[in-house]
Each structure stands twice: as C-alpha cells, then as structure tokens.
Amino acid sequence: MTLLAVAFFALMALGVPIAFAIGIAGFTFFATGEFIPMSIGVQQVASASQSFPLLAVPFFVLAGHMMNRTGITHRLIACSNVLVSWMAGGLAQVCIVLSTLMGGVSGSAVADAAMEARILGPGLIRAGYSRGFTCSVIAVGSLITATIPPSLGLILYGFVGNVSIGRLFLAGVIPGLLMMTGLMLTTWFIARRRGYRAGSVERPTAKAVWAAVVDAKWALLFPVALLVAIRGGLFTPSEVGAFAVVYAALVGFFLHRELTLGSVLEALTEAVTDTGLIMLIILFSGMVGYAIVFEQAPQSIAAALADLTREPVLVVALILIFLFLAGLFVESTVLVLLLTPIFLPIVAPLGVDPVHFGILMMTIVTLGSMTPPVGVAMYTVCSLLDCPVEEYIVESLPFVGTVLALVALLTLWPGLVLFLPNALM
C-alpha cells in the first residue's frame, strides 16, 4: 500500500495525467504482491465499468453540453440580472445567482466558472471591480454547482459508496441555497466597503421579475423535473440522465429553437471527450479501491481515529480537515473515487448518515478546485481574465472562509442537509 501511494504521488509530481498515474500506481500493487495475481487487477478495471448507475455520468455530461447550446445560458443571465443586479456589488451578485441556476444545468463547477469568466468577467472589470475580486466571485461561486442537482460529483459518490443518488440530489438543495446566501452576503459587505455600485439603479418590479422567470422557465424547471421524476419513481437516476438529454433536445429544437444539428454534434464531441477522461479515472481507480479494501486501510484509519476520539462530530471534522488538505493537491473526482471507500466505512458505524457525509465531502473536495496550488477552476478563471494568482489568493480568502463556516454549520446540524431527503423519501 505504501508503494502504491509513493508511486501515485511521484507520477503526479512528474506531470503524468491523473488517470494514468492512478492506473500505473494500481498496477504496481498487483505487480509487487506475492499472493495476488495480475489478472485480478485487470478484472477490477473491467468490473468497475459494469455498473448501471454509472450510466448517469455520460448522460448528464451530454445533457449539460446540449443545455449550453439551447439558449438557456443567456436566459439565466437575464433572469439573474433582474433578480439581484440592484444590490450592492450587483454584477458580482449576478455571478453567484447564475452559478446556482447553472448548477441545475451543467453539473460541473469548472465548466460553470469558465463560462462565467468568458461571458460576465470582462463586464465586471470594465465596471470597476478588481480582477482578483472578479475571479474570486466567479471561481468560488461555482462551488455551488457541487451540491445543486444534478452534480456529477454526487453521482460518483453515490456510485462508489452505494448511496442513494436520489437522496443525495435532494440533500444538496438546501446546502446549495445556503452557500448562495452566504456568498451573496460576503459580496455585499465587500462591495459596500469598496463602493462597488449596483448594476441597476431601481429595484425590479414584480412584473419584470415574472417576465424574466417565465423567459427562463425551461431552465428553472429542469432540476425540479429531475427531482420529481426520481421522487415519484418514474425513473432511476441513470434513466433520469437519459431523460435530461431528451429534455435538452426538446427545449433546444422545439421551444427555444436555437439548437441545430451542428451544435448537437459539437456537444457530442465534447461529451465524448469529457466522459472518456472521467471513465478512465473510474476504471483505473477500481484497482486502487481493491487494494484499499485488501490492505484493510479503513480499519487501520478507523483504529487510529478511535485512539484520538470516539465523538462522531470530531471524527468527521478530522476527516474533513484531511480532505481539505488533500483537495489542495488532488482533483476532486479522484478524491471521491479513492477516498470514499476509505472514509465512508469509518463514519457509517458512528451513526453519521452517508448522505450527510457525502454533501460535506463533495463541498470540501470541490473547494480544492478554487484554491492553490493546483486549483483547476482558479487557474482557468485567472488565465481567462489575466489576473495574477497572488491577487486572486488574497481576494478569495473571505469567500473561502464563508464556505468553511458553512461546512462547519452543516457538520454540526445535519438536519439542514437531511431535511428534504427525509421529508420526501
């Protein structure tokens, strides 16, 4: 197990792609083991693909790419602008609300951050917002996508941990809305102190709000339709992914009439690329998962934690601290696939709900995409808006602090996470 870990981090340091770093490190475990034939490793790679719930991943990836070509994005921007642009720091508030609404469409924090950086970022900078503040609002705000359904991270967590994806989707709604509120308050305080003006002078009328909501209704109804379909037993989470693709096609072709065959082919091409990358990581992580179970890593870590404390809240807090530190260096998808089999068997016997733990885990590991030294969303936004990383780091501290405070709140009051799944399922 030690050799596997050393090989993985050495390959990462050499710049080997994550999927191959996991695969090569996993093969070292089987190649150097005396009692485990190499064929077992190959079987683990194959068996990792034999999962019906895993079908949800390519479907939701394709649906997200198609949604971005149906005219939904600019309708959501217009809706967000009407709702919150009158507040202090109005344009920045639009970014946060848009991340919440886009979370129900894209399912990817990095994709959401890149889109907002291209479309809204230049406008914020022209309006007098600093580059660091602009990048921080966009990058950290995209974290809301990690919990608002359909989150790809929650699908992977449910797949690896054998946790109900429907309950995870429902559980992510309230934390996502709380995160939106917290980040909006943080933006408001900073904007008031710096004198960042509102985007519009007057508050919107009820008529203007209703018109904007009606114009964006098909995007706003999408996550609601997913949750109703799962709760009503109409579809399994995998089948809901297929429904999402059909929904995107119907909206694009017949309702908005902005989707073309050419844009569908572009969406398919991008979806195949993204799915291929995700699936490579999933398949190769099957070997690592087997090694973790074979070496009894969960039991060893659980025993070490038990020596420190037996209080469930403290155990979860220690795990979240470790996940936060790990997220600074390793991509969130990898952490979910590799660490869920380790930590879920530790917290479940302590009475911690796997759904509650999944929301906490996804929030913390996805936060790593917005923090140095290897934050993908951070580098994407900073490069698109020509912002020094040093400036971003300083400006992002209040937003990261807000997210960590929310995670602490959700840890102490699991009812905030479990209210909807317990009430509806």
pLDDT score, position 249 = 87
Decide if 200 contacts 85 (C-beta within 8 A). yes
Q: How many helices (H) and strands (E) does the chain have?
A: 23, 0
Does residue 112 form part of some domain? yes
Q: Average pLDDT for residues 109-130, to the nearest whole number?
A: 81
Q: 268 is written with which tokens?
A: 């398919």
Decide if 121 contacts 384 (C-beta within 8 A). yes
Closest CA to 420 of 234, 261, 231: 231
Per-residue pLDDT band at 244 (split at 50, 70, 90): confident
pLDDT score, position 200 = 67
- Residue 53 in this model has a pLDDT that exceeds 70: no
Closest CA to 93 of 228, 189, 159: 189
Q: Is the peptide bond before 414 cis (omega within 30 degrees of 0)?
A: no
Q: 316 is written with which tokens?
A: 């979860």
Per-residue pLDDT band at 112 (split at 50, 70, 90): confident
Per-residue pLDDT band at 306 (split at 50, 70, 90): low
Q: Average pLDDT for residues 200-218, to the nearest whole number?
A: 82
- Residue 410 in this model has a pLDDT that exceeds 90: yes
Does residue 137 form part of some domain? yes
Tracing tokens 């996993």 back to the chain, one arrives at 26
Q: Average pLDDT for residues 146-162, to the nearest whole number?
A: 83
Mean pLDDT check: name the lowest of 20-29, 170-179, 224-233, 411-420.
Answer: 224-233
Does residue 398 form part of some domain? yes
Rounded to whole angstroms, the Cα distance separating 378 from 370 reads: 5
Per-residue pLDDT band at 52 (split at 50, 70, 90): low
CB half-sphere exposure, 337, CA atoms < 13 A? 25
pLDDT score, position 334 = 78
Does residue 27 form part of some domain? no
- Residue 34 in this model has a pLDDT that exceeds 80: no
Per-residue pLDDT band at 186 (split at 50, 70, 90): very high
- Residue 185 in this model has a pLDDT that exceeds 90: yes
Supply the DSSP symbol for 37.
Answer: -
Domain extent, residue 86, equals 37-424
As a whole number, the mean pLDDT across the chain is 82
Q: 269 is written with which tokens?
A: 């091409």
- Residue 408 in this model has a pLDDT that exceeds 90: yes
Does residue 23 form part of some domain? no
Structural domain count of the chain? 1
pLDDT score, position 181 = 94
Q: Which residue has the higher pLDDT, 281 or 391?
A: 391
Does residue 338 form part of some domain? yes
The contacts of residue 44 (CB under 8 Å, 6+ apart) are 26, 286, 287, 289, 290
Does residue 42 form part of some domain? yes
Decide if 283 contacts 321 (C-beta within 8 A). no
Rounded to whole angstroms, the Cα distance separating 140 from 134 reads: 10
Report which listed range, 82-96, 219-233, 275-289, is most confident. 82-96
Does residue 31 form part of some domain? no
- Residue 14 in this model has a pLDDT that exceeds 70: yes
- Residue 104 in this model has a pLDDT that exceeds 70: no
Residue type, 137: V
- Residue 179 in this model has a pLDDT that exceeds 90: yes
Decide if 371 contacts 330 (C-beta within 8 A). no
Q: 377 is written with which tokens?
A: 């969303």
Decide if 65 contacts 275 (C-beta within 8 A). no
Per-residue pLDDT band at 184 (split at 50, 70, 90): very high
Instruction: Give the number of residues written for the chain.
Output: 425
